[in-house]
Amino acid sequence: MTSEPSSPTGTDPLPGPPPGCPAHGRGPGGTHRLHGPDAKDLGGLYERLRDEHGPVAPVLLHEDVPMWVVLGHAENLQMVRSPSQYTRDSRIWTPLLDGTVKPDHPLMPHIAWQPICSHAEGDEHQRLRDAVTSAMATIDHRSVRRHIGRSTQALVNRICERGRADLVSQFAEHLPMAVMCEILGMSEEYNERMVQAARDALKGTETAIQSHAYVMEALSRLTTRRRARPEDDFTSHLVTHPARLTDDEVREHLRLVLFAAYEATANLLANALRMVLTEPGFRAQLNGGQMTVPEAIEQSLWNEPPFSTVFGYYAKQDTELGGQAIRKGDGLLFAPAPGNVDPRIRPDLSAGMQGNRSHLAFGGGPHECPGQDIGRAIADVGVDALLTRLPDIRLACPEEDLRWRESIAARHLVALPVCFDPKPQQDVDLPPRLMPVPPTRVDRPAYDDTAPGALPKPAPVPAPVPPPTPPRPDTHPTGFWGRLLRWWHGD
Ligand code: HEM
C-alpha cells in the first residue's frame, strides 16, 4: 500500500491497445491510461469509463500493462469477498508470467509478491493476519486516545504562537507517526527525521531508498530488542504470538503496519481538515451540533478515501464481474474512490452519509483493514483537539490554490495553509477543553466518540485567562474537574 513512484512512463500519444491485448470489452487493457496526460483528473476519467463500460472497465497501467478497474460499489465488494475467485497473490498475474511486466516496472513495489498478510491467502493469510490482529487486540484504546490527545497538543504547541501553519506538513504528516511509534513500542524513534523518511519513502523521491532503509533499520533494532526482552506493546505481542513469526516476518509486518497506517491516516487527516475548512456546510453543521467530528471523518472516508485504489486482485479462474468476462490470470484494481461515488448507491453526491459506514475506504472481505479503529481514533481525536485549541482557524489561501499530488493509489493534498489568532502554549497533559474558550462554545464530554457533540464556533478568541491549575494526580478533586482529570489520566 505504498504510492507508486511519481515518474510516470509512456507519455507518448496513445497508439491503441498494446500487442496481444484484446481491447474494448474483450479483456483488460482498452484505450485509457491511468497515468500520464490521460490521468490529470482520475476522478473524471473513472466517470467516463463508467459511462463507456459500466461497473468494470479495461484500463492501461504504466508501460501499457492491461488491467481492469472495478468502478461499481457492489462489484468491488463482490470481488474482495470472493476469495475462491480472486486472490491478492500477484504470482498468478498473466502480464507478470508472460514477461509484459518487467522487474523494473514502476509499479513493482505494489505488484511484487511479499511474505506479508496483504499478499497471502488461505491458511497462510490466516496465520499472519491472526498474529497482527491479536497484537492489535492487546492495544489499550483508552491510552492510545490519550496519547493521540497529548501528541496533538504537542503539535499545536509548535504552531499556536505563530498564527500560521501548514496542516499537512506540520500536523497531518506528524500525528500518525507519533501515534504509531508509540503503539509499536518505539516512541524514542519518533522525530522529524522519521517523519521525513516515511514521507520520502512513500513519495518515491530520489532519496527514497535511503529513507526506506532508515525506517527499516529502526524496525530491525526494535524486532531484535523485543525478541530478546518482550514488553507490553504491539511488537512484543507480534514476536511472541503462537504463529511463531520469524524476525523477517515481524519486520515486514511492522513495515506494513507503519506505512499503511502512516500514509492512510495522514491522508485522512488532511482530507477531513480540508473539508471542514473549505466546505461551509460542514463547518456550519459541526458548529450547530447537527454533525459530530466522527461523522465528518466518515463523510471524508466516503468522499475522498485515503487509498483511491489498492493493487491488486487477480482472477484465479475464468469468471464474470459487472458484465465483463474476466479470464484466469487477469488483474483487477480494487477501487474505493470510484466505488464510493457509484451513482447506483449515491445518486446525489451532495447528500450526507451520516450513520452509513458502508463505504469502501477500509476494503472488505478477508483482507479488510484491521487497523481501522486506530485510523479513525487518530482522525477523530486529532481533528477534534486541533479545532478546539484553534477554533478560529481558517484557510490562508484561496481554495483554488490548493494543490494535490495524484497517483493511481492515492490523492494527496500537497499543503493546507491556515491562519488563526496566535494562542499561548498549553500543557500537553491537559485536555484541550481546559484552554480558555469562547463563551459561545457548546460543551460536551471530551473525546467521547460515543456521545460527541458540536465543535466550538470559530469565534474571536477572548483575552487570555490562565487555565485552571491542574490538581496533582493523586489528589483529584471531586466534581466535574475531578471526573475530567481522572478520565484524562486514565484512572
Ligand atoms: C484511515 C486509515 C486507514 C485506511 C483508509 C486503511 C485502508 C486499508 C485498505 C483499503 C486496506 C486493504 C484492504 C484490501 O486489500 O481489501 C488495508 C489493509 C491493511 N491495513 Fe489499513 N487503513 C488505515 C489505517 C490502518 C492502520 C492505522 C493500521 C495499523 C495499525 C492498518 C493496517 C492494515 C493492515 C495490516 C492491512 C492488511 C490486512 C490484510 O491484508 O489482511 N491500516 N487498509
Higher pLDDT, 343 or 200: 343
pLDDT band at 241 (very low <50, low <70, confident <90, very high): very high
Q: Is the pLDDT of residue 336 over 90?
A: yes
* The ligand 1 atom nearest the CA atom of 234: 30
- Rounded CA-CA distance 93/329 in Å is 5
- Cα→Cα distances 206→63, 283, 356, 405, Å: 21, 39, 41, 17
Decide: 238 and 101 in contact? Cβ < 8 Å: no
| Mean pLDDT, rounded, for 55-73 | 95
Nearest ligand 1 atom to alpha carbon 253: 35
User: Taking the mean position of all CA atoms in its chain, how far away is CA 360?
Assistant: 12
Q: How confident is the model at residue 433 (pLDDT cuts 50, 70, 90)?
A: low
Cite the DSSP H helix spans in 160-232: 175-184, 192-203, 208-228
Instruction: List, chain by chain if needed, residues with CB within 6 Å of any ligand 1 atom.
Output: 80, 117-118, 129, 132, 256-257, 260-261, 264-265, 268, 306-307, 310, 334, 361-363, 367-372, 374-375
Separation between Cα atoms, residue 358 and residue 345, nearest integer Å: 10
The residue type at 53? H
Domain boundaries, the chain: 131-303+357-488
CA distance 49 to 65: 17
pLDDT at residue 434, rounded to an integer: 57
Query: Rg (Cα) of the chain, in Å, rounded?
Result: 23
Q: How confident is the model over 382-402, as a mean pLDDT? A: 96
Beta bridge partners of 326: 319
Number of helices (H), then strands (E), belonging to the chain: the values are 16, 12
Cell of 405: 499530488
- pLDDT for 208 equals 86
**Inter-axis angle of helices 280-288 and 293-303, nearest 10:** 160
* Ligand 1 atom nearest residue 306's Cα: 5
Strand ranges (E), 158-315: 164-166, 310-315
Confidence band for 26, pLDDT divided at 50, 70 and 90: low
Measured from the CA of 116, which atom of ligand 1 is nearest? 40
Nearest to 110 by CA among 214, 260, 305, 267: 260
Nine-digit cell at 21? 491485448
Q: Are strands 331-334 and 66-70 parallel, antiparallel or unpaired?
A: parallel
Q: Which pLDDT belongs to residue 18? A: 45
Please state the pTM of the whole predicted model: 0.84
| pLDDT of residue 17 exceeding 90 | no
Judged on CB neighbours under 10 Å (0-12, 13-18, 19+), 242 is exposed
Name the amino acid, one letter, at 220: S
Over residues 257-279, the pLDDT tens digits come to 999 999 999 999 999 999 999 99
Look at residue 449 and tell me whether its pLDDT is greater than 60: no
Share of the chain above pLDDT 70, in %: 82
Q: How far is the CA of 371 from the centre of ligand 1 (A)?
A: 6
Residue of minimum CA distance from atom 30 in ligand 1: 371
Distance 261 CA to ligand 1 centre (A): 7
Q: For residue 362, how far is its CA from the centre of ligand 1 (angstroms)?
A: 6
C-beta atoms surrounding 294 within 10 Å? 18
**Separation of CA 412 and ligand 1 centre (Å):** 17
Protein residue closest via CA to atom 42 of ligand 1? 371
Å from CA of 363 to ligand 1 middle: 8
pLDDT over 60 at 366, yes or no: yes
Residue 103 has pLDDT above 90, yes or no: no
Pocket test for ligand 1, best of 251, 313, 369 (most atoms within 8 A of CB): 369
Instruction: Name the CATH code of domain 131-303+357-488 (choices 1.10.630.10, 3.40.190.10, 3.40.50.720, 1.10.287.70).
Output: 1.10.630.10
Q: Assess contact for 431 and 364: CB atoms under 8 A.
A: no
Check if the beta carbon of residue 194 is closer than 8 Å to that of residue 173.
no
3-state helix, strand, coil split of the chain in percent (to 5) is 45, 10, 45
pLDDT score of 11 more than 50: no
Looking at the CA of residue 305, tell me the nearest atom of ligand 1.
5
* Contact call for residues 344 and 79 (beta carbons, < 8 A): no
CA of 335 to the centre of ligand 1 (A): 14
**Contact (Cβ atoms closer than 8 angstroms) between residue 21 and residue 15:** no
| CB atoms inside a 10 Å sphere around CB 460 | 8
Query: By mean pLDDT, which of 14-28, 54-68, 406-420, 472-486 is the weakest?
Result: 472-486
In this prediction, residue 481 carries a pLDDT of: 38
Q: Which residue has the higher pLDDT, 155 or 468?
A: 155
103 CB-near residues (< 8 Å, 6+ apart): none
Sheet strands side by side (includes 417-419)? 164-166, 417-419, 394-395
Distance 399 CA to ligand 1 centre (A): 30
Please determine, for residue 367, whether its predicted confidence score (pLDDT) is greater than 60: yes
Contacts of 124 (CB under 8 A, 6+ apart): none
The whole-number pLDDT of residue 430 equals 76
Atom of ligand 1 nearest to the CA of 129: 41
- CA 52, 76, 83, 125 dihedral sign is positive
Q: Which residue's alpha carbon is nearest to atom 16 within ligand 1?
A: 363
Report pLDDT digits (tens) over 176-208: 999 999 999 999 999 888 999 998 888 777 788
Distance 60 CA to ligand 1 centre (A): 25
Residue 368: closest CA among 118, 115, 150, 14:
118
Give the Cα separation of 101 and 33 in Å (integer): 16
